[in-house]
Amino acid sequence: MSRPRRSLLMVLLLAASAAAGCGGAGSARPELDPSPFVLLAQKGICSDVKRRVFVIDETMVLIDRAGSCPDNSYALTLYGRTPTEVLCSKQDSIAGPRTSCAEGSPQDLFDTMTQNTNLPDLGLGKDHKVRSVPL
């Protein structure tokens, strides 16, 4: 390989390495795929009043649903990156409202979200990225 070509190759490799180490393409968090959660929300029971899906910080998903069922009128469920990873849930039941969170889950964030479902950012503020997913 000629000297100018080798120098150009070195410059390109150094630039790619620097970009990957300093917030370049190698450090971006992949966008969470909401499609499994959308399917889950669409198949959910008792959701004739409200059915919404939110992605939070590309690491969690909140499903918010409500319906006209007498003993299951609402449910909010916070998931991790997959529908099998339930972090917290709050729902109406025949025995009254029930809330549960897995150990180590972000219960404070969940409490804030459940109290602020009327806000576009779910009350989380500018430190969190919240996006609503169309159903």
Q: Is pLDDT above 50 for 127?
A: yes
Separation between Cα atoms, residue 12 and residue 19, nearest integer Å: 11
Give the residue among 124, 114, 56, 121 at the shortest CA–CA distance from 90: 114
Structure tokens at 111: 């409490």
pLDDT in tens, 8-62: 444 444 444 444 444 444 446 689 999 999 999 999 888 999 999 999 999 999 9
Contact of 129 with 56, CB cutoff 8 Å: yes
pLDDT in tens, 71-118: 889 999 999 999 999 999 999 888 888 999 999 999 999 999 999 999
Q: What is the pTM of this model?
A: 0.77
